[in-house]
Chains A and B, each alone.
Chain A
Amino acid sequence: MNDPKEALYYIDGVDVPETPPARDLDQEPWGETTVVGKPLPRVDGYERVSGTAVYPADMSLPRMLYGAILRCPHPNAVVRSVDTSAAAAMSGVHVVMSGFTPSSRALQAHRQLIESNLFNPHCRHEGETVAAVAADNPYRAQDALRAITVEYDVLPFVADERRALEPDAPQVREGGNQVSDTQQYQRGDIEQGFVEADVVLEEDYRCECEIHTPMELHGCVAQWDGDSLTLWESTQGVYNVQAQAAAALGVPLSKVRVVNRYMGGGFGSKLAAGKYTVIAALLAKEAARPVKLVLTREETLLAVGNRPPSNMHLKVGVKRDGTLTAIQFTGTGTGGSQQAGGTSLLDWIVRDLYVCPNVRTETTDIYINAGPARPFRAPGHPQCSWALEQMMDALAQAIDMDPVELRLRNIPTVSQGRNNIPYTTTGLRACLEEGARSFEWQQTKDAITTESDSHIRRGIGVASGLWVAGGGGPPSTAIVKIYADGSVNLNMGASDIGTGTKTVMAMVVAEELAIAPGDVQIEWADTGSTQYATGSGGSKTVPTESPAVRAAAIDVKAQLLELAAGEMEVDASLLSLADGKVVAGGDSPKEVEISALRSLRRRGSVTGIGYRGPNPSGKAVNPFVAQFCEVEVNTRTGEVNILRFLGAHDSGRVLNLLTYRNQVFGGITMGIGYGMTEQRVLDVDQTGKMANKNWHDYKLPTALDVPADMTCLPIDLNDTEANTTGAKGIGEPATIPTAPAVANAIYNATGVRVTGTPIDPTKLVSALAAARGED
Chain B
Amino acid sequence: MIPEFNYVRAQSLTEAQQQLSTDGARVCAGGSDLLGCLRDEVFDCSKVVSVTGLDELRGITRSRDGGVNIGALTTIAELAANSTVQELYPGLAQAAAEVASPQLRNQGTIGGNICQKPRCWYYRGEFECLRKGGDTCYAMAGENQYHCILGGYRCYIVHPSDTAPALLALNASVQIAGPRGERVVPIEDFHVAPRDDVQRETVLEDNEIVVAISIPQPASGLRSSYRKVRARGSWDFALAGVALALAFDADRVTGGRVVLSGAAPIPWRSREVENTIIGQRIDATLAREAADAAMSEAAALKNNGYKIPLFKGVIEEQLLAIASA
B314 at the interface (CB under 8 A from A): yes
A220–B142 Cα distance when bound, in Å, is: 37
| Residues of chain A lying within 8 A (CB to CB) of residue B312 | 636, 769, 774
A765–B311 Cα distance when bound, in Å, is: 10
B127 at the interface (CB under 8 A from A): yes
Of A91-99, A351-359, A693-701, the one touching chain B: A693-701
B143-A691 in contact (CB<8A):
yes
B306-A761 in contact (CB<8A):
yes
With contacts A636-B314, A768-B309 known, is A704 near B233, CB below 8 A? yes
A762-B239 in contact (CB<8A):
yes
| Residues of chain A lying within 8 A (CB to CB) of residue B231 | 677, 699, 758, 760-762
Contact with A along B237-260 (1 / 0, CB 8 A): 001100000000000000000000
Contact with B along A754-766 (1 / 0, CB 8 A): 0000101111011
Contact with A along B295-318 (1 / 0, CB 8 A): 000000000111001101110110
A138 closest partner in B (C-beta): B1
Query: Closest CB of chain B to A770's CB: distance in Å?
Result: 9
Chain B contacts with A in 199-258, Cβ cutoff 8 A: 229-236, 239-240
- Which residue of B40, B141, B239, B316 contacts A685 across the interface (Cβ within 8 Å)? B141
A766-B305 in contact (CB<8A):
yes
**Chain A: interface size category:** 35 or more
| Residues of chain A lying within 8 A (CB to CB) of residue B236 | 696, 699
With contacts A704-B233, A765-B310, A774-B309 known, is A683 near B143, CB below 8 A? yes
B125-A639 in contact (CB<8A):
no
Chain A contacts with B in 123-172, Cβ cutoff 8 A: 138-139, 142
Query: Closest CB of chain B to A266's CB: distance in Å?
Result: 24
A261 at the interface (CB under 8 A from B): no
| Residues of chain B lying within 8 A (CB to CB) of residue A634 | 313, 317
B268 at the interface (CB under 8 A from A): no
Chain A contacts with B in 671-706, Cβ cutoff 8 A: 676-677, 681-687, 689, 691-694, 696-697, 699, 701-705
| Residues of chain A lying within 8 A (CB to CB) of residue B232 | 676-677, 699, 701-702, 704-705, 760
B239-A761 in contact (CB<8A):
yes
B229-A637 in contact (CB<8A):
yes
A687-B317 in contact (CB<8A):
no
A638 at the interface (CB under 8 A from B): yes
Query: Closest CB of chain B to A696's CB: distance in Å?
Result: 7
B138 at the interface (CB under 8 A from A): yes
A702-B233 in contact (CB<8A):
yes
Chain A contacts with B in 220-270, Cβ cutoff 8 A: none
**Chain B: interface size category:** 20 to 34
Query: Closest CB of chain A to B117's CB: distance in Å?
Result: 13
A43–B231 Cα distance when bound, in Å, is: 38
A705–B240 Cα distance when bound, in Å, is: 18
- Which residue of B124, B127, B305, B310 contacts A638 across the interface (Cβ within 8 Å)? B310
B309-A705 in contact (CB<8A):
no
B239-A691 in contact (CB<8A):
no
B52 at the interface (CB under 8 A from A): no
A774 closest partner in B (C-beta): B309
A73 at the interface (CB under 8 A from B): yes
- Which residue of B40, B124, B309 contacts A765 across the interface (Cβ within 8 Å)? B309
B156 at the interface (CB under 8 A from A): no
With contacts A637-B229, A681-B143, A691-B125 known, is A703 near B234, CB below 8 A? yes
B126 at the interface (CB under 8 A from A): yes
Query: Closest CB of chain A to B243's CB: distance in Å?
Result: 16
A476–B309 Cα distance when bound, in Å, is: 58
A455 at the interface (CB under 8 A from B): yes
B interface list, Cβ under 8 A from A: 1, 40, 101, 121-122, 124-127, 138, 141-143, 145, 229-236, 239-240, 304-306, 309-310, 312-314, 316-317
Task: Give 3 nearest A-B pairs by CB, closest first.
Answer: A704-B233, A636-B313, A769-B309
| 29 pairs of residues in contact across A and B, judged by CB atoms under 8 Å | A73-B126, A634-B313, A636-B313, A636-B317, A637-B240, A637-B313, A638-B313, A676-B232, A682-B143, A683-B122, A689-B125, A691-B122, A691-B142, A696-B235, A696-B236, A699-B231, A702-B101, A702-B235, A704-B234, A705-B233, A705-B234, A762-B231, A762-B306, A763-B306, A765-B310, A765-B313, A766-B305, A766-B309, A769-B313
Known: A635-B313, A637-B310, A766-B305. 6 other contacts (CB 8 A): A637-B313, A683-B142, A691-B143, A704-B234, A761-B239, A765-B310
